[in-house]
Amino acid sequence: MEGIVSSKQQQPLVFAYYVTGHGFGHATRVVEVVRHLILEGHIVHVVTAAPDFVYTSAIQSPRLFLRKELLDCGAVQCDALTVDRIASLEKYSETAVIPRETILATEVKWLQSIKADLVVSDVVPVACRAAADAGIRSVCCTNFSWDFIYAEYVVDAGSQHRSIVLQIAEDYSHCEFLIRLPGYCPMPAFRDVLDVPLVVRGLHKSRAEVRKELGVEEDVKLVIFNFGGQPAGWKLQEEFLPPGWKCVVCGGSDKEEYPPNFIKLPKDAYTPDVIAASDCMLGKIGYGTFSEAMAYKLPFVFVRRDYFNEELFLRNMLEHYHGGVEMIRRDLLTGCWQPYLERAIRLKPCYDGGVNGGEVAAGILQDTALGKNHASDKPCGARRLRDAIVLGYQLQRVNNRIIGIPDWYNVEENKLVGRSSEGSQFLREVEDFEILHGDPQGLPDTMAFLKSLADIGAGHDSKKDTDDEVREDLAAAGLFNWEEEIFVARAPGRLDVLGGIADYSGSLVLQMPIREACHVAVQKNHPSKQKLWKHAQARHHADHEKLAPILEIVSLGSELNNRGPTFDMDLSDFKDDEKPISYEAARKYFAKDPSQKWAAYVAGTIVVLMTELGVCFENSISILVSSGVPEGKGVSSSAALEVATMSAIAAAHGLNIPPRDLALLCQKVENHVVGAPCGVMDQMTSACGEANKLLAMVCQPAEVLGVVDIPSHVRFWGIDSGLRHSVGGSDYGSVRIGTYMGRKIIKSTAAGLSKGNKKDDMDKDGIELLDNEASLDYLCNLPPHRYEGVYVDKLPETITGEEFIKKYVNHEDSVTTIDPKHIYAVKAPTRHPVYENFRVEAFKALLTATTSDGQLSALGELMYQCHYSYGACGLGSDGTDRLVELVQEMQHSKASKSENGTLYGAKITGGGSGGTVCVIGKNFVGSNEQILEIQRRYHVATGFKPYVFEGSSPGAGKFGYLKIRRRNATE
């Protein structure tokens, strides 16, 4: 901007504008406010760490003064998408806490020297205190404050820094009021609030001018790539973009060579012009990118950042105005951009609010500097109380207890989300549905499932060419009465981090709910209203029966797993003389047709509810299943299906079943109806898990101990070996039997030793110890030193079933049956849970230890030990062994050592014999690159490209259920 002159002839005011050291977004919005102050003829001193060109490219005026100073550090990032919480706290302490007295003295002296009329902060805490000490009024202008951001860091990663949050809040309290920007977070430290529109930089050039300069034709789709810098070592490739597209890259490296369909913008390019000339943006959500995308109605494909609380509130506003599409990080790094970009350009962003926040804020600042006392147009006491409670939740929560932003806060305070409240019920419109109860929680897979429900019945897709797909479509289209309520539940799969097959031996286990989940929609109808498939109609008419309740199930995606897409039955088949049929009879019922045995996981929940809770199902039930949890990979696809189904059925029938009890009921489905022996850790994780936490539990007896925080520098992945896994296989069953045999032998040995030593007047404590071991409930209660010192030599390597029964009668496991002719391994399966419980306890303790490479190395070593113990039990596989070897090769490579390591350990998961490997590593982009390299090498070696599991999501208990009804639906 050239030739700026005052629009008013008045004595110029002097503003001292402090800008936080975090990111360009703050600097770019400050530019807009400062520009309007200078237009009014005032003098502005900007205290900033940002490069001069950010300000001088937009403001060329002798009234602008730039002073380079870093008085806070913001959030320290490992890379473009990952915040290092501990480093952020330590850096803030180094930058603003240790030199605090010097900073205050320097700033007071400087403010007095420039004769500042008003101090403005965005949002440097110490600036407010320095202004107070200098006797100058101060105002903050922001959408978030650092006490809110750091509160999470303090709780999760460094409680010794709690005083930082309190000091920041105290500094802000010296501010006279807050100019609050849209998309704001809770900010209790500020006494009063004035809301302004979006602060957005204006345009200098037209769309046509910008495209001409870039050499991009008008009919070419253009995406702007804006991450504040490209992740180090990551190569942009031509095939990342759809055919005919081009991409302009912000903040690209000067050393990087770009493909012909990528254009690197100069570092001093005026990005608002490029944003307005583009068709969509791909980047991370920060205020600058968010506000300009909103203002210029540009669809925004975003990738979430870790541990930056501001993002949640900006994302809510972006999605409310139909402007956002979330891309998962893996797809960003692997170049799977096309489906996201094509979806984005179909959006119609509809933000219609003001975009002159810079001008409005400048007017408020001018009036304040002239002596006007501003007061908000509404009382702020209630708002401050709500903000304070939210912040208090963050500061006061304890280990294993996570409290997020309460629903009532979002309802009352974040108006732009578009929610209204009546008691605890919410009514929201999502796509074609009214949501009468519950919250989709912004989960992309849930939104996609609701979209698929809306699309059902729209007609057969001619692109589908298999009989199963045609049947699936037709059956799903007529499944529901759309004018009636439908109940939807969601349950994730799980990644077995440690514990695995030791669950049935009473070991502590650590499990993480994964991002992939199963959705189940349930509707109950009076038999007279139930839509019957043609064969069911024929069956009922032939029997000349009165109307009777039936069960109809459609499983989407059945063609991927070679099973029938539909299942139906009369619910009376589950009764025997008005009583529920036995589990054995139910098991035989579902075994009649192998292609429909899958229905036992779904319909089996009804049998269990009838048997265990005495539920009487008098209405027909329609069930639609859509699972994103890959089957046979060892990530509990069956548990997710059971938990989601039972949750939806319970909701539809008004049953309030606590998550733990629901998990136990679902275990009965798998053990007794399906006939696959399993511990309860899978169902517990799916029902009780929390996103981005490890669920700690013991499964014998079933008890959830709480959640364990995953430190910010630690990340877990799952890599599928491609070998089919089944907990119902003979390997798992024989190992379980061998484990119970070993326990029985130890108990028998302990009883014999106790009896013999009593005659020899053995020490009383020694006799008591042996007596306890003679009644050993679970092998995990036997310490490794007792196992090695007393019992290891008494255990045979193997034993036949016949020999064991002859000597010990039975193995005391109600789930499995000994085959007399089978040879069972005993020593290795017995040793595994004894040492596994020790490993899990150590792993849990290490997660809370001081951050170091030694910590990660120790965690990884425990996982390696677990993996080889699985192998000793006979539950290994070539595929999982190869993946673990690739992790080791990567870990010990020269490149990893020079970079202080990225991956640290791996192990087979769940029931073993194939399935998925869990990997632990540092939480930064370099680790993702190594995971992708392992995926590539495994593909080259085996011809199979493994699926990578990353990310987490809430369990069924945290999700609750949705009650939905289609809007303006007709049958």
Which helix (DSSP H) or strand (DSSP E) does residue 622 occupy? strand 620-627
**Do residues 442 and 319 lie in contact, with contact meaning Cβ atoms separated by under 8 Å?**
yes
Block residue for tokens 């995406």: 223
Tokens describing residue 135: 């006797």
Task: Determine what percent of the chain falls in helix, strand and coil, rounding each to the nearest 5.
Answer: 45, 20, 35
- Cα-based angle 488, 489, 491 (whole degrees, multiple of 5): 155
Tokens describing residue 404: 């997020």
DSSP string, 197-216: --B-PPPSS-HHHHHHHHT-
Map residue 615 onto helix, strand or coil: coil
Strands across the sheet with 221-226, in order?
262-264, 245-249, 221-226, 280-283, 300-302, 324-326
Q: Is the peptide bond before 701 cis (omega within 30 degrees of 0)?
A: yes
Residues in contact with 746: Cβ distance below 8 Å, sequence separation at least 6, in sequence order: 773, 776, 779, 782, 791, 794, 795, 830
CA-to-CA dists, residue 829 to 233, 397, 519, 699, 803, angstroms: 44, 40, 36, 18, 18
Active site (annotated) includes residue 147: no
Q: At residue 163, what are phi and psi to the nearest 5 degrees?
A: -60, -25
How far is Cα 536 from Cα 840, in angstroms, rounded to an integer? Answer: 51
Q: Which of 147, 473, 682, 720 is catalytic?
A: 682
How far is Cα 561 from Cα 578, in angstroms, rounded to an integer? Answer: 36
Map residue 180 onto helix, strand or coil: strand
How far is Cα 219 from Cα 135, in angstroms, rounded to an integer? Answer: 58
Q: Please give the DSSP secondary-structure letter assigned to residue 655.
A: -
Q: At residue 524, what are phi and psi to the nearest 5 degrees?
A: -105, 140
Map residue 520 onto helix, strand or coil: strand
How far is Cα 608 from Cα 673, in angstroms, rounded to an integer? Answer: 8
Strands (E), 213-305: 221-226, 245-249, 262-264, 280-283, 300-302
Tokens describing residue 78: 């490992």
Residues in contact with 129: Cβ distance below 8 Å, sequence separation at least 6, in sequence order: 104, 170, 171, 174
Tell me the catalytic residues: 682
